[in-house]
Amino acid sequence: MVSGSLFHSRKNSWPAQEYISKSTLHLLDFDDAAPPEQAWRRKLNSHANLLKEFSVTFMEAIKMASVKLGVRMWSYVREEASHGRKAPIDPFNRESCKPSATQGVPLGGMGSGSISRGFRGEFRQWQIIPGVCEASPVMANQFSIFISRDGGNKSFASVLAPGQHDCLGSRKGADDPGISSWGWNLNGQHSTYHALFPRAWTIYDGEPDPELKVSCRQISPFIPHNYRESSLPAAVFVYTLVNTGKERAKVSLLFTWANSIGGNSHLAGDHVNEPFMTAKGNPPVTFAIAASETQNVSVSVLPCFGLSEGSSVTAKDMWHKMVQDGQFDRENFSSGPSMPSSPGETLCAAVSASAWVEPQGKCTVAFSLAWSSPKVKFSKGSTYHRRYTKFYGASEGAAADLAHDALTHYKRWEEEIEKWQSPVLKDEKLPEWYKFTLFNELYFLVAGGTIWIDSPLLSLNMGNDHGQPKDLECSTVKVTEARVDCPQGADNSYDSTATNGQYHVDEQDVGDVSDENESVETFREGNSTTALQSLIMTDQEYDNDVGRFLYLEGVEYVMWCTYDVHFYASFALLELFPRIELNIQRDFAKAVLSEDGRKVKFLAEGNWGIRKVRGAVPHDLGMHDPWHEMNAYNIHDTSQWKDLNPKFVLQVYRDFAATGDMSFGVDVWPAVRTAMEYMDQFDRDNDGLIENDGFPDQTYDTWTVHGVSAYCGCLWLAALQAAAAMALQLGDQDFAETMKRKYLKAKPAFEEKLWNGSYFNYDSGSSGNSKSIQADQLAGQWYTASSGLPPLFDDFKIKSALRKVYDFNVMKVKGGRMGAVNGMNPNGKVDDTCMQSREIWTGVTYGVAATMILAGMEEEAFTTAEGIFLAGWSEEGYGYWFQTPEGWTMDGHYRSLIYMRPLSIWGMQYALTLPKAILEAPRVNIMDRIHLSPVNGGLSHNEKGN
């Protein structure tokens, strides 16, 4: 645990008063309208950094050309495009990954499509279609304010987003029927954004009206351990108005929304808008915007307006109506559906909420946004229902019901969010930057590309007594669609009066969305050879099931549940949604025991192999048909990688130890045995250690390794220990003995080959970088300590290696203000062997910091991690907030924005608050509890193979 005085001098390093006056904070100090002190902050008019992407060096380009990797990748990308598919890694086409330094907290829960909202108020980064990211904002989607005071001599009308924007249209001013005719008057100098995921606050401190304080609070249902509401595609915006003037003010807030899912989708035609009072619509993708009507707040709607001259009501007409009246006509509620839009025509909708605010008075106005895209279909695969449909159904009314319920339940959401976050925020031993960075890095579980489907996890018998799977022919289980009506709560006249913008798209637009009457496949094993024990779930099992979950490696590396990266990121899911984490591990356990014999060409070497080898942990669960066509990654043959199988065993044991879930352990044990036995082929000199094969055969997939490596070797030692411990607890005594014997043989060999007196060499080869200091050299020890297992090495070696990493990889890189560089030469110069050795990986840095915490080096740990905050999140940094990349170079140029691995900051929090099951592990060393029986030659029969 962190000592009490460690960070005393930096406790107030992020003072809120630098951004909002004390008097404004006091006025807003009710109903959660004031932002917390521990939040990430920006002024709305702050400078937006120009983000720069990395480039390869001349020698790296020559090397790529010499192995023809670039040529093969270009050919592969073109081949996939000819079939209408994206390649999982495409360095040639980056139009969908446009960087922006104005990112903010995303909207909605997990796995139902996501929309981000920049800190200046723009709705951007659309990911409604799986694997497709539309980065550009839809500028018609805005909140605006209209203010008039008694006496009529003061009035204000402004979009609540600062500055003019290049994408407003070619025509500007009074003659433009589109949104440039609106009042883009906000300067932003006195307005600030405050982010503490999953909430955000925007404070307009006297803008545009000097005598009106406005707080907009954005709330999404990301609630740990709540597996229902955390799946909902909805968000709430609560406006708090404080009138500091001497005159009564009429304030109208306007929420406008274009019928679009980002990009050019609003021009596709056949879009329909319809007003509702918890009414229903019927397209594959539906948006609903709503506002609560109360005794003090009057709601009106404009169901449809357009952005061009041919519209019956233009954006300019709509704005003029609000300036004049502050509301729309009440008869709009009965206008019915609009005519479908024509190609090239954009339909928008608006909802207005108006209230009188007395002098020195306060008022609250709540809006909601919801969207419903009930089905997910992959380009090669089956169609699935998203998880929220288990509670709201897939019928036409889901978006309206979601918008209604969001307005009804958001206060309870906030209570649960505050209960979860409060212990961290109130812990004075922790630095301020860590508190809000910890929560804000969770943005990725919403905006990083996640899919959560309502697919019952059937009971599986994945092996017999010897871990061998039973044969099973291709099995398809289908369930019929069932609607569950949500409760309507209080009287409709109070709850929700709103307008709904429906978005109807054809199959091409939404990735071949299936017909509404098509049966939806929720579980299929394809060509895998796993066995179904039961096809029937009890009511209790169905209620307890949390479905299946996918998340991307990144928006540029489009592979689902990339496992070598999940090794780092999984701490977040284990801490917050452990049942999702266990289900992901079950998916990989089934994958270990499956084989896919289809041929694949590996781009780096140009050789051919099979897609999925039995016994090998897949790199990922696929791209175009996840769960059924795994290993979308095809640069190297990952069945030859040396880190995936040990990482699987380590994650499984950590989860098993942390949760104490014995049924989980029994489920995955055959796969653990198989994964460990598979690795025997890589111990070529019978010293108990696995050897690397002279190519980048691990997560650092451009960094070649020769012989025994610190990274893979340490993971292997840890996996041997974890497998032995798990075997003992599950009653597999023979295998426990086998693993212990290998461990006792491998450990001294590892230290003899790699320990140099102060750290472990990069590898045992003779290349120029074999003695490089690798930041991640103790990854196996990280998991050993996280799982309550005895340390792999004596305390001196662990702390000495971490101290070397701290002194060289961290502090010799701009004084520790950038994180830990992956490789550093003993002479203090960065290892420039390859692109990855010279990069700073954000998630690895957090992982190293977690290892330091577990080793009792708290001050070094937080200094190490603070480098990622300073370079990525601070106002003086490079601008990577809410899009933390995989890594950056020494000059701050990024590679792969919006990346999974930085979730490993939750590995730090896990280390600070180890689960009770880990803290209360038996005092007797679990390895000492494995008694070795005498065998000929010192090996058990299991160690010689089956």
The pLDDT score that the predictor gives to residue 936 is 45
Tell me if 382 sits within 8 A of 514, measured CB to CB: no
The pLDDT score that the predictor gives to residue 716 is 98
- The list of the chain residues with pLDDT below 70 reads 1-18, 56-67, 94-98, 164-175, 265-284, 456-543, 922-924, 935-946
Q: Is 754 helix (H, G, I), strand (E, B) or coil?
A: helix
The pLDDT score that the predictor gives to residue 726 is 97
Tell me if 851 sits within 8 A of 869, measured CB to CB: no
- CB within 8 Å of 865: residues ≥ 6 apart: 434, 819, 845, 846, 849, 905, 908
Q: Give the separation between CA 572 and CA 483, rounded to whole angstroms.
A: 32
β-pair type (40-43, 191-196): antiparallel
The pLDDT score that the predictor gives to residue 168 is 53
Phi then psi for residue 754, to 5 deg, are -120, -25
The string of pLDDT tens digits covering residues 264-322 is 766 565 556 666 554 333 236 789 999 999 999 999 999 999 988 888 899 999 999 99
Q: Give the separation between CA 73 and CA 247, rounded to whole angstroms.
A: 67
The pLDDT score that the predictor gives to residue 605 is 87
Structure-token pair, residue 271: 């879009």
The pLDDT score that the predictor gives to residue 637 is 96
Q: Is 463 helix (H, G, I), strand (E, B) or coil?
A: coil
Residue for token pair 């999974």: 900
The string of pLDDT tens digits covering residues 233-277 is 999 999 999 999 999 999 999 999 988 877 776 656 555 666 655
